[in-house]
Amino acid sequence: MASDVSAPREYGFAKTERRDLWWVGPLATFLGFGLFIVYSTFRAVYNADYVSVAGRAGWGELLSPFYSPLIVLPSMPAWFSPAFLILWAPGGFRLTCYYYRKAYYRAFFLDPPACAVGEPRNQYKGETRLLLFQNLHRYFMYLALIFLVLLGIDVVRACVFAGDDGVATFGVSVGSLVLLANTTLLSLYTFSCHSLRHLVGGNIDCFSCVAMGQGRYRLWKGVSCLNRSHMLWAWVSLFMVGFADFYVWMVASRTIADFRIL
């Protein structure tokens, strides 16, 4: 018995049978990424107002996450921003992130713009040549873990207040809470990383057959739970780190005052 077989359709760039607003996601990603890239580049080149200096005794120090840890070399030219010594590491971690690859491939390179949507080229080359750089993601993850410790130290420093008598006391301000929220969200993004999940348990077939198997299994389960929301942590942490820098900028430039809660 004869049967009808549909002939394959020819697709070109942006051609699709989808009837939903498939272009909204890539457009929103393009605008979100673009805004952050422009802002972070400006703040690095601006090279000022990245650390709050106590105007009076009793206020903790706030350091922008774009400049943490603050590295100022004796021979560094005045025009050279310390942020250039820092941003390459967290930037490399995000650039090579498995989720971000999909996001910016679609938003910036339209490769493809979305699922079941025609792309500009008809040949798949994979992540070859220059894109072999993406294989460094695991090593950037190690650096990201170190940066979490450094950012945690910044939170502690923001909660140390020097009184008029020179005695250090514990306190909480809006700025210290902003830095705490930033470090927390960056931790959730880092701890939900696919490479970390593979590192703690994805590279073994039998947890009961290896040393500390039960502990590794619990750790793997925890990372797997966070990994389900990796996209969410990627976005909220991205905008939070930008907001944290903006808040420090406003306080350091004396545009606003950092309100002390405790």
Q: What is the DSSP string of 229-254?
A: THHHHHHHHHHHHHHHHHHHHHHHTT
Q: Is 163 part of a structural domain of the chain?
A: yes
Q: Is 77 part of a structural domain of the chain?
A: yes
Q: Is 177 part of a structural domain of the chain?
A: yes
Q: Is 162 helix (H, G, I), strand (E, B) or coil?
A: strand
Q: Is 175 part of a structural domain of the chain?
A: yes
Greatest C-alpha distance within the chain: 97
Residue-wise pLDDT tens digits, 127-182 = 777 777 788 888 999 999 999 999 999 999 898 887 666 677 888 899 999 999 99
Minimal CA–CA distance to 177: which of 92, 262, 97? Answer: 262
Q: Is 81 part of a structural domain of the chain?
A: yes
d(CA 129, CA 131): 5
d(CA 193, CA 179): 21
pLDDT-based confidence at 246, cuts 50/70/90?
Answer: very high
Q: What pLDDT, on the 0 to 100 scale, is given for residue 59?
A: 58
Residue-wise pLDDT tens digits, 74-111 = 888 888 999 999 999 999 999 999 999 889 888 888 88
Q: Which domain holds residue 97?
A: 24-192+229-252
Q: Is 89 part of a structural domain of the chain?
A: yes
Q: Is 108 part of a structural domain of the chain?
A: yes
Q: What pLDDT, on the 0 to 100 scale, is given for residue 190?
A: 95
Q: Is 57 part of a structural domain of the chain?
A: yes
pTM: 0.85
Q: What pLDDT, on the 0 to 100 scale, is given for residue 213?
A: 77
Report yes or no: 187 and 223 within 8 Å, Cβ to Cβ: no
Q: State how many domains the chain has.
A: 1
Residues 6+ apart with CB under 8 A from 117: 14, 15, 16, 18, 22
